[in-house]
Amino acid sequence: MRLPLGWKSTIKVACANPNQLKILPRVRDWQLVSTAHSAEVPATVTVGTSDDTLELDLSHTKLPEGEYRLAAKWDWDPMEVQGVVNLRPFGDFSHAKLSPDSEDRLVEGTGLVRIQLTGADFEFVNKVTLLPSEDRKATPKELSITLPKGNGAGEQTTLEVEIDTSGLRAGAFALKLAQTNGSTHDLGIVIHPPIPTLSNLPLRVNLGEVQQAVTLEGTGLERIEELIGEGATWALTPVPAGAQNLHERKAIVKLSAQVKKGERLETSMKVSGLHSPLRASEALLVAGPRPKIIRASESASQAMDVALRQGEIAAGSTLSFAIETENVGTHPTLALTCAAAGDEKQPLALHPGERSGTAQLDFSGEGILYLSFDPGSVGRSGCQLMATATVEETGASDPYTLGRVIRLPHIEKFQLTDEKDRGHLYLGSLTGQELQTIEKTGWDGKNGYPVQGFPTPVAGDPQEQSLKIELSWPPPSPSAPLYVWLRGETEGRITQAKY
């Protein structure tokens, strides 16, 4: 039997004849006899409230720990009590702690959790309570405890405690361990916030990419410190300062050379505050190479009245593009959008063989898409027009720039009169459409003269416009071409209009 030093304990005793228990009060001169030192120490022993118990009072006796026997006298004859009393000190909890897996299980709102304490001898613990560390005035909550060998069964190097986390908020708490002598020890524990969740798995990643960006979706993503898995390396974007309960987080994934199309790769999440990584099965789905737009060649249905510059595509007329692609399969989607959403009028998406209004898309050889459309139907002037090819199984290509949409004026007629305006300038006029885009005119791209007001409708044809201009006289050469400046431009554009 193991009993605590310096305390009152109850010992159960038995006799060959149960009737002998009734005369125990006549036994006197009780002593503890050390089996190790042959020392005899007086002990205060009284008969307990039950006939089969003795009460041993060591509260005023200092003894070393070890094994002892009880001895006494019956009348004048020595009497020995069979069995050994193992006296042990009360537990020292300075090194007591939760096992790592127990710490990981303490998560807000997960219900009843069984945890294990280690690092001390818990055999004399008779009560454990829980209270918030920051609110010591709170009423302690008594917890259910279990000793692996049972009470009074010897050294107990672990202690199991049940904590109901259903009504607990994440934060610091204290377990108050109480021993039979009334001494207590506080052991700090942490209730963790809910475990991060990932809701959009598996994430598709493609072969043939040096690295690729993915977006994690879920809850508590700021608590993920690292993602580790075979077949891929992850680099998470830093968490913004003060961020809480992130629902989206970017990451860069690099696939190893050994992975194959169709594989599903698992990963492990290292979460702040937890010892063991959490497994996320089928985190990545390896798909084939993404579609790719290699180049696009433009052809216009008619010559422009006003010259286009490098990288520009004209709105208001039908253009055709031969788009060379890779990995698009037999049923891709080609989407046309503006780089800036504010420039967009109406996005366009077509499958090969499909027509939408005047826009049409077809295959024109292996991997060649033939697109015919009016850029002005997609974006306003200034729109950086982007094409993206998408295949359902492998994802979208990088956007490919087709050009900057610009709305050019259409000049049908150019006249210059002999009516002098001022200095060496003479009045003239332009007839056509979209003339409101013209700010200046001139005989070369460096010197221009402001137009005279705004264009006016031509009588009998509301689609036609007339714009008054002024130019120097004489022209630099016979059949000299006219140059126009569009609004906001610093250099003129040559036109098909000649004097």
For the stretch 43-63, pLDDT in tens is: 666 666 666 777 778 777 777
CATH of span 292-406: 2.60.40.1930
Using a cut of 0.85, tell me whether the model's pTM lies above it.
no
Question: What's the confidence (pLDDT) of residue 48?
Answer: 60
394 CB contacts (<8 Å, ≥6 apart)? 204, 206, 287, 288, 289, 290, 291, 327
Residue linked to tokens 């300075």? 94
Write b or e for each residue in 131-153: b if 16 or more Cβ atoms lie within 10 A of its Cβ, otherwise e: bbeeeeeeebeebebebeeeeee
pLDDT of residue 404: 97
Mark the ranges of the chain whose per-residue pLDDT is less than 70. 16, 18-23, 37-51, 152, 300-302
Task: Tell me what pLDDT residue 301 has.
Answer: 61
d(CA 27, CA 20): 11
Residue with tokens 């993503």: 221
Return the pLDDT at 35.
73
CATH 2.70.50.70 describes domain 2-88: yes
Cα–Cα distance between 32 and 65 in angstroms, integer?
Answer: 12
Two structure tokens written together for 409:
């004026």
The predicted pLDDT at position 50 comes to: 62
Here the contacts of 419-427 (C-beta below 8 Å, separation 24 or greater) are: 421/470, 422/470, 424/472, 424/473, 425/449, 425/470, 425/471, 425/472, 425/473, 426/470, 426/471, 426/472, 426/473, 427/452, 427/468, 427/469, 427/470
Is 202:216 a contact under the CB 8 Å cutoff?
no
Give the per-residue pLDDT at 47: 64
CATH of domain 197-287: 2.60.40
User: For strand 159-164 and strand 144-146, is the pairing parallel, antiparallel, or unpaired?
Assistant: antiparallel
pLDDT, residue 178, reads 93
- Using alpha carbons, select from 465, 459, 314, 290 the residue that is nearest to residue 389: 290
Q: Is 434 left (phi over 0), alpha (psi -120 to 50) or beta?
A: left
Domain 97-191 has CATH 2.60.40: yes
Predicted pLDDT of residue 136: 72
Residue 201 is predicted with a pLDDT of: 96
